[in-house]
Amino acid sequence: MSINSFGRILRYTSWGESHGSAIGAVVDGCPPALRLSEEDIQPWLDRRRPGTSRYSSQRREPDRVRILSGLWEGRTTGAPISLMIDNVDARPKDYSDIAPAYRPGHADFTYDAKYGIREPRGGGRASARETAMRVAAGAIARLIIPQVHVRAYLVELGGDGIDRKRFDIEAIDANPLFCPEPEAASRWAALLDQARKAGTSLGAIAECVATGVPAGWGAPLYAKLDADLAGAMMSINAVKGVEVGDGFASARLKGDENAD
Amino acid sequence: MSINSFGRILRYTSWGESHGSAIGAVVDGCPPALRLSEEDIQPWLDRRRPGTSRYSSQRREPDRVRILSGLWEGRTTGAPISLMIDNVDARPKDYSDIAPAYRPGHADFTYDAKYGIREPRGGGRASARETAMRVAAGAIARLIIPQVHVRAYLVELGGDGIDRKRFDIEAIDANPLFCPEPEAASRWAALLDQARKAGTSLGAIAECVATGVPAGWGAPLYAKLDADLAGAMMSINAVKGVEVGDGFASARLKGDENAD
Amino acid sequence: MSINSFGRILRYTSWGESHGSAIGAVVDGCPPALRLSEEDIQPWLDRRRPGTSRYSSQRREPDRVRILSGLWEGRTTGAPISLMIDNVDARPKDYSDIAPAYRPGHADFTYDAKYGIREPRGGGRASARETAMRVAAGAIARLIIPQVHVRAYLVELGGDGIDRKRFDIEAIDANPLFCPEPEAASRWAALLDQARKAGTSLGAIAECVATGVPAGWGAPLYAKLDADLAGAMMSINAVKGVEVGDGFASARLKGDENAD
Amino acid sequence: MSINSFGRILRYTSWGESHGSAIGAVVDGCPPALRLSEEDIQPWLDRRRPGTSRYSSQRREPDRVRILSGLWEGRTTGAPISLMIDNVDARPKDYSDIAPAYRPGHADFTYDAKYGIREPRGGGRASARETAMRVAAGAIARLIIPQVHVRAYLVELGGDGIDRKRFDIEAIDANPLFCPEPEAASRWAALLDQARKAGTSLGAIAECVATGVPAGWGAPLYAKLDADLAGAMMSINAVKGVEVGDGFASARLKGDENAD
Dihedral angle over CA of B83, B88, B90, B91, nearest 10: 180
pLDDT of residue A132: 95
Find the mean pLDDT for residues D102-118.
84
Touching B: which chains, 3+ CB pairs < 8 A?
A, C, D
Q: Which of C12, C28, C123, C24 is nearest to C64 (CA)?
A: C24
Residue in B closest to D220 by C-alpha: B79
Percent of chain C beyond pLDDT 70? 94
Q: Is C117 helix (H, G, I), strand (E, B) or coil?
A: coil
Q: What is the DSSP string of A5-38?
A: EE-SSSEEEEEE-TTSSEEEEEEE-PPTT-B--H
CA dist C99 → C91, C108, C109, C120, C122 (Å) = 13, 10, 12, 5, 9
Distance, in Å, from the CA atom of D148 to the CA atom of D170, rounded to the nearest integer, reads 19
Q: Is C26 helix (H, G, I), strand (E, B) or coil?
A: strand
Specify the higher pLDDT residue, B121 or C239: C239
Distance, in Å, from the CA atom of D58 to the CA atom of B18, rounded to the nearest integer, reads 65
Distance, in Å, from the CA atom of D92 to the CA atom of B107, rounded to the nearest integer, reads 53
Distance, in Å, from the CA atom of C139 to the CA atom of B249, rounded to the nearest integer, reads 54
Would you call D220 and B1 a contact, using CB atoms and an 8 Å cutoff? Answer: no
Q: Which of C185, C130, C162, C144 is nearest to C11 (CA)?
A: C144
pLDDT of residue D55: 75
pLDDT of residue D111: 86
- Evaluate if residue A106 carries a pLDDT over 80: no
Indicate the residue of B20, B26, B75 with minimum beta-carbon distance to C68.
B20
Find the mean pLDDT for residues C2-25.
93
pLDDT of residue B206: 97
Find the mean pLDDT for residues A47-66.
80
D50 with D61: CB under 8 angstroms?
Answer: yes
Would you call A1 and B8 a contact, using CB atoms and an 8 Å cutoff? Answer: yes
pLDDT of residue B5: 94
Q: Which residues contact B59 (CB under 8 A, 6 or more apart)?
A: B50, B51, B89
pLDDT of residue A10: 95
Which residues in chain D have Cβ-Cβ distances shorter than 8 Å to B26? Answer: none
pLDDT of residue D101: 74
Would you call A242 and B234 a contact, using CB atoms and an 8 Å cutoff? Answer: yes
Q: Would you tell me which residues 91-150 of chain B have a C-beta closer than 8 angstroms to some C-beta of chain D?
A: none
- Evaluate if residue A100 carries a pLDDT over 80: no
Find the mean pLDDT for residues A95-104.
65
- pLDDT for C126-171, tens place per residue? 888 999 999 999 999 999 999 999 999 999 999 999 999 999 999 9
In B59-86, which positions are buried (b, 16+ CB within 10 angstroms) versus exposed (e)?
bebebebebbbbbbeeebbbbbbbbbbb
- pLDDT for D166-224, tens place per residue? 999 999 999 999 999 999 999 999 999 999 999 999 999 999 999 999 999 998 899 89
Residue in B closest to D1 by C-alpha: B1
At D33, is the pLDDT very low, low, confident or very high (cuts 50, 70, 90)?
Answer: very high
- Evaluate if residue A40 carries a pLDDT over 80: yes
Q: Which residues contact C73 (CB under 8 A, 6 or more apart)?
A: none
Specify the higher pLDDT residue, D260 or D94: D260
Indicate the residue of B69, B72, B115 with minimum beta-carbon distance to C78.
B115
pLDDT of residue C60: 75
Specify the higher pLDDT residue, A31 or D52: A31
Q: What is the DSSP string of chain B?
A: --TTEE-SSSEEEEEE-TTSSEEEEEEE-PPTT-B--HHHHHHHHHHH-TTSSTTS--------EEE-SSEETTEE-SSPEEEEEE-SS--GGGGTTTTTSPPTTTTHHHHHHHHS----GGGGGGSGGGHHHHHHHHHHHHHH-TT-EEEEEEEEETTEE--GGG--GGGGGGSTT--SSHHHHHHHHHHHHHHHHTT--B-EEEEEEEE-PPTT-S-SGGG-HHHHHHHHHHTSTT--EEE-TTGGGGGGSBHHHH--
Which residues in chain B have Cβ-Cβ distances shorter than 8 Å to A242? Answer: 230, 234, 241-243
The mean-pLDDT minimum among A100-114, C242-256, D87-101, D118-132 falls in D87-101
D229 with D134: CB under 8 angstroms?
Answer: no
Would you call C77 and B21 a contact, using CB atoms and an 8 Å cutoff? Answer: no
Q: What does each of the 260 residues of chain B score in pLDDT, given as a tens digit?
A: 578 999 999 999 999 999 899 999 999 999 999 999 999 999 999 998 876 777 777 677 789 999 999 999 999 999 999 999 999 876 655 555 555 677 777 788 888 889 988 888 878 888 889 999 999 999 999 999 999 999 999 999 999 999 999 999 999 999 999 999 999 999 999 999 999 999 999 999 999 999 999 999 998 899 899 999 999 999 998 899 999 999 999 999 888 887 76
Indicate the residue of D20, D111, D124 with minimum beta-carbon distance to A68.
D20
- Evaluate if residue C14 carries a pLDDT over 80: yes
* A vs B: CB pairs below 8 A: 221
Residue D55, min C-alpha distance to chain A (Å): 29
- Evaluate if residue C97 carries a pLDDT over 70: no
Would you call A240 and B229 a contact, using CB atoms and an 8 Å cutoff? Answer: no
Residue C146, min C-alpha distance to chain D (Å): 20
Chain-centre distance for alpha carbon A163: 25
Touching C: which chains, 3+ CB pairs < 8 A?
A, B, D
The mean-pLDDT minimum among A162-176, A246-260, D127-141 falls in A246-260
Would you call D117 and A32 a contact, using CB atoms and an 8 Å cutoff? Answer: yes
Residue A109, min C-alpha distance to chain D (Å): 14
pLDDT of residue D104: 74
Mean pLDDT over all residues of chain C? 90
Specify the higher pLDDT residue, C8 or A139: A139
Q: Would you tell me which residues 7-66 of chain A have a C-beta closer than 8 angstroms to some C-beta of chain B?
A: 8-9, 14
In A110-124, which positions are buried (b, 16+ CB within 10 angstroms) versus exposed (e)?
bbeebbebbbbbbbb
CA angle A126, A127, A130 (to 5 degrees): 95
A66 with A83: CB under 8 angstroms?
Answer: yes
D117 with A80: CB under 8 angstroms?
Answer: no
Q: What is the DSSP string of D95-163?
A: GTTTTTSPPTTTTHHHHHHHHS----GGGGGGSGGGHHHHHHHHHHHHHH-TT-EEEEEEEEETTEE--
* Predicted model pTM: 0.94
Q: Please indicate if any CB of chain B lies within 8 Å of the CB of A161.
A: no
Cα first-last separation, chain D: 39
Strands (E), chain D: 5-6, 11-16, 22-28, 65-67, 71-72, 75-76, 81-86, 149-157, 160-161, 204-211, 241-243
Q: Would you tell me which residues 216-255 of chain D have a C-beta closer than 8 angstroms to some C-beta of chain B?
A: 220
- pLDDT for B179-210, tens place per residue? 999 999 999 999 999 999 999 999 999 999 99
Q: Which of A259, A260, A252, A256 is nearest to B200 (CA)?
A: A256
pLDDT of residue C81: 98
D1 with D13: CB under 8 angstroms?
Answer: no
For A78, counting Cβ atoms within 10 Å of its Cβ (0-12 exposed, 13-18 middle, 19+ buried), the class is: buried
Mean pLDDT over all residues of chain D? 90
Residue B219, min C-alpha distance to chain D (Å): 10
The mean-pLDDT minimum among A38-52, C201-215, D13-27 falls in A38-52
